[in-house]
Structures are given as structure tokens and as C-alpha cells.
A and B are shown apart, each in its own frame.
Chain A
């Protein structure tokens, strides 16, 4: 069931305490800042958040972490020059970290959306990040068993949606959007523009509307220009 929703607040209102929330974006590109701010305002806590990073500066995911709403981060690169809120929580022992190589993170998210129960990958073999995991010698190399990452909710940002919820993205802001849309039970998308059904070339649709539950339009000028990395 696809809903078009007027405000980001209404869009995230159903997110419950203890949810696993995927948040799109790589750095600031594709990060759905307005949906994250709304998640902050709605008060949901004890969250497990899946994102490539663990927040930057004093905005978006970093603030959610600062306010103690995130119980666990699943990410590939939490340590950045401006990840001070995560750093503080981590050193205080107030946040759990599951560190995943970036490609394994992407493929585990993809596997969840694709109904795959797990897969063997050479990435991470022989490293501390593969400790305790099943390994097999397959296709001429040692490989490590990895499991899917499912989510209750995905918050993502796209450029445009049509009336069927079909999405197109913009440049490297696409990043985790398509795979998170497929992996979550409830996918909430902020877009800069909602266009009439039939105006997106079907050949160019990146995320088919079947993966999308809610669409909310966020002022495109702010979304494009206000948050330059």
C-alpha cells in the first residue's frame, strides 16, 4: 500500500521503540536529513540504525546518536574527523557497534531484500571481522558466510517519485537507497519532486514502486543546496 504523506512528521509517526532503521546516504549525499530530524522529534528510542557511517557534525544521524536514541550502529566507517557524538557514546560504552566491511554491508542489505538467507564472500577472510564465522573454500578461494540485514523501516532520499512510487535518484546520492528500499518492511522516501504517473521513462526507473510504502515531498532547494558535504 503506497501513501503520499504531507509532512515528514506524519511519515515517521509509526516508528516504534526498538526498531531497526536503515538510513540511506553516504556522507551527506543521499542522507534524508528531514526524515531523520522527524524521527528525532517523534521520540522513538532504543533503535538499531544501519548506515554506512555513524553521523557527521551536529546534524542528522549524529544528533540522534547524541540524544541517546540509538542502541546499536551497524556500519562500515564510524570514525571520521567530525564523528564526535558517536566517538563519545562509544568510549562511554553507551552504544553497540557492529562493524561490517562496506561491500558486505551492501550485499547483506541486498540479500535481505532479495530473500536470500546468507551468502559466502571472500571479503574479510583471514581478518578479525570474520572471526567466529563459517568459512569454506569455494571457487578457488576462501570465503566467509554472511547473513542478511533486515529492517523494520528504511528512510531514504530520492530525486523524484511518480504516482506509483517509482523512484529516480541523483548522481552519487543513489548509494544505499535502492537496496534499503527493498530490504525494509516499511520504506519511507523523501523526494524533491512528485511527478505525474507516466512522466518517468519506465526504462529509467531505478527503484520500482513495489518497494516503496510512503512518499513525502521535501522542498527541493533545501534538499539539494542546504546540505553540501
Chain B
């Protein structure tokens, strides 16, 4: 553990926008990508033209552009969060079964999702708290988790109560089994896979401090 602090790449924890910027930078040029509702949508603000990324929205479009403003707003052109968006040159429209075939068929390179919990083996819980009076709603979360080649999660490492959301086993209902490949948090980036969890880099703390917060054995990259 002689290199214990060398994976710290930032003095402070990352804010939501800084984290989105980091995820955007990690997306390989030419990728087909689906950004989930909420924090993952911020990633689109930091994708560059040179990256030539094509965004998919599960309600039936490839080549989605930025959010629509003013006269651009068109009720027939919305994203999966039902926000009015724009189309880029080369965009295409297709029906729902084709849109989910694009996911399930493994044609998307990356999807970025939020999460309640991620397990040591990459299980994802992000659709339901399991509270008895909550109305369950799943949307496309299970399809995205299962279908994309890489599933990136963006979340805060800790709950408001200070409990790690990276866990040995999820206690919330699962969205997908062993599907998450990377977890981007305010305090560290984790790589998940069959060999366990590796910390790629830390922000505002050391590897040892991360290990104290997360209740499962971690490896430093």
C-alpha cells in the first residue's frame, strides 16, 4: 500500500457538474449513449463535438440534441424525462419496440443511470424503495441496466444519513443483476466486476478513508 494516496486526483469531493464532466470525458469517441433521467442528464452538457457521441432516448430517437428553448419547444419532440428536446442532423425516429431492441440487443455502448444502491458484484437497485405505500414505477430502468454494454452509475457515495450506497448486497429491490461496470461518486470512482471492486481515483480523501466508509473490501487501482 505504498501508493495509498496516489489515486487521489482532487483536493475536494466533486460537485454534480464536475462529476458529470468526468463521466463525459470517459466516454469513448463515437459511442452510442443513453443518459438516464436526473443527474445523468447533466453529462450531455460536457460532451464535445469532437467526441461525436450519438444520444439515444428510449421513447424513440437517436441523435437527440440539447433541451429545446423558446420557439424550438415542440410537444411531439421530448426525451424520456418528457422534457422538450431538439434533433441533431442525422437524427432518426423509431417506435418503442425498436427503441428497446436497440438496448436489449446490445447496440448501446454506455448507459448512465442514477442509483439507490450498487452491490460489490454490480447489482443495481434504482427503481423502488420497497416501501409498502409507494407506487412502484419502473419505466425503462431494467431494460437499460440489462442491455447496454457498459452501465455507469452516478450517485453520491453516502446517503443523507451517512450510509454507503455501495454495499455488499443490495437491500432495495433489484433493477438488474451484475450489470454495473463503473460507479461515479462525489468521493471516488469505483470499477465493479467479477474480481471485486477497485477504486480508480478518489476526490478529497484517501483510499484508506474511502475504505472506512464502504463496508466491503476494496482494491486501489
Contacts and interface: CB of A to CB of B under 8 A. Distances in A.
Interface in A117-131: 121-129
A153 B219 CA distance: 57
Interface stretch (B77-85, B110-118, B159-167): B77-85
A37 interface: no
B40 interface: no
A127 B175 contact: yes
Contact of B59 (A122, A172, A224): A172
Contact of A106 (B78, B100, B123): B100
B136 to A, nearest CB: 5
B201 interface: no
Given A171-B77, A172-B61, A107 B97 contact: yes
A79 B135 contact: yes
B60 to A, nearest CB: 5
B137 A79 contact: yes
Interface string A75-97: 01111100000110011000001
Interface residues of B, number: 45
Given A103-B103, A177-B95, A229-B84, A171 B143 contact: no
A179 B97 contact: yes
Contacts of B60: 26, 172, 174-175
B104 interface: yes
Interface string A143-166: 000000000000000000000000
A206 B97 CA distance: 13
B114 to A, nearest CB: 15
A29 interface: yes
B11 interface: no
Contacts of B173: 127-128
B142 A225 contact: no
A229 B135 contact: no
A104 B100 CA distance: 8
Nearest to B133: A91
B139 A102 contact: yes
B176 interface: yes
A37 B165 CA distance: 45
Interface residues of A, number: 54
B140 A101 contact: yes
Interface in B12-67: 57-61
Contacts of B103: 103
B92 to A, nearest CB: 11
Interface stretch (B68-76, B188-196, B205-213): B68-76
A175 to B, nearest CB: 5
A177 to B, nearest CB: 7
B136 A106 contact: no
Contacts of B137: 76-80, 99
A157 B58 CA distance: 19
Contact of A123 (B94, B95, B146): B146
Interface of A: 26-30, 52, 76-80, 86-87, 90-91, 97, 99-107, 109-110, 121-129, 142, 169-179, 206, 224-225, 227-229
3 closest cross-chain pairs (CB), A and B: A103-B100, A103-B143, A228-B75
Interface of B: 57-61, 73-79, 82, 84, 87, 93-97, 99-101, 103-104, 123, 128, 133-143, 146-147, 173-177
17 contacts: A26-B59, A26-B96, A77-B139, A78-B136, A79-B136, A104-B142, A122-B147, A123-B147, A126-B177, A127-B173, A129-B138, A171-B93, A172-B60, A173-B75, A175-B59, A175-B95, A176-B96
